[in-house]
Amino acid sequence: MSAGVFGSLFLYTFLSHFNHGSFLRFRAASAWEAVDTNIPSVNLDIRTIVFSSSLIALAASILIIVFNKKANSNKYMKFFIDTANLAHIKEAHELGILDGVTTNPSLMAKEGISGQENVVRHYQAICGITDGDVSAEVIATTYEEMVIEGEALAKLHERIVVKVPMIKDGLRAIKYFSSKGIKTNCTLVFSAGQALLAAKAGATYVSPFIGRLDDVSTDGMTLIEDIRTIYDNYGYTTQILAASARHPMHIVNCAKVGADVVTAPLAPIVALLKHPLTDNGLAQFLADHAKAAGK
Ligand code: E4P
């Protein structure tokens, strides 16, 4: 859009430069002639300055558009795995597509992890597998306790992201962590309003739960789209981490609507690579190859 504005300005100035009867020349000339009609060179100077600045502005806007396009083409949706299971995390990591891990108290409990020492050891083990961010959720529900627990979690590893529930004290805690440069993931988000608050508080990630919305007959994907629109309207840098993704189409649709990250268990991630025509095609290729080789 800015290119259009600058382009029109450029064209207008360009034409004015060569069309001596133009409005611009008339304005510039009359202004200066009112002061001193004996300085004809001033006219040209004004037009030259406007002409050159328009040229620079046009060049700048073209560069901005080109660089923006390049930046967007390098942007990709990150894949996080939604589990505390070390074997699953390793498998996803070995596939070469893993960008991070999300956990929650239920997922930790599912792996039988309890007690501070075990929890610490487990998060460290996860950080040892992935090169990406690892969300570790606070159990505390008051601001003061969340700050203490979150700071302790953040100290465990530089890639730990403190996961905080979207409640009043949680919002305050996110603001505090953000002021201290501690990364946060605002979890249990079910509305665009909650996502807006998380962004204003400076959350690194916001986790809208698409599967749980679908469970109650509400389209989870629409929430992702709404948050994308809101964040893009104002340039919020909080990353949309689509959570509670339960099947491969959740992942594909998240990519369609522009989620920054999707987190899903191993099964839906692996299911993405399955297609019966791929399997049938491969079986046929191998059978034909064996036949030709006389096997
Ligand atoms: C991750 O951050 C969330 O805690 C998780 O995706 C919730 O998933 P669920 O709704 O399948 O339990």
Average pLDDT over residues 272-284: 97
Q: How far is the CA of 72 from the centre of ligand 1 (A)?
A: 28
Please tell me if the CB atom of residue 185 comes closer than 6 angstroms to any atom of ligand 1: no
H/E segment holding residue 161 = strand 160-165
For ligand 1, the distance from its centroid to the CA atom of residue 107, given in whole angstroms, is 9
Identify the burial level of 288 via C-beta atoms within 10 angstroms of its C-beta, where 0-12 means exposed, 13-18 middle and 19 or more buried: exposed
Which phi and psi (to 5°) does residue 52 adopt? Answer: -65, -40
pTM of the predicted structure, to 2 decimals: 0.78
Alpha carbon separation from 261 to 14, 19, 27, 96, 186 (Å, rounded): 47, 55, 55, 16, 13
CA of 135 to the centre of ligand 1 (A): 12
pLDDT at 168: 98
In whole angstroms, what is the distance from residue 240 CA to residue 227 CA? 8
Catalytic residues: 163
Amino acid identity for residue 89 in this structure: I
* Mean of pLDDT values over 52-77: 70
Give SS3 for 189.
strand
Q: For residue 58, is pLDDT > 90? A: no
User: For atom 6 of ligand 1, which residue has the closest CA?
Assistant: 244
pLDDT score of 16: 53
CA dihedral over 109, 128, 100, 152, signed as positive or negative: positive
Whether ligand 1 lies within 6 angstroms of the CB of 209 is answered as yes
| Predicted pLDDT at 289 | 97
Distance CA 23, CA 37 (A): 18
83 pocket-lining for ligand 1 (C-beta < 6 Å): no
Q: Token pair for residue 238?
A: 């909080």
Three-point CA angle 96, 99, 103, nearest 5°? 120
Give the number of residues written for the chain.
295
Give, for ligand 1, the residue of 209, 210, 212 to mutate: max count of ligand atoms closer than 8 Å to Cβ: 209
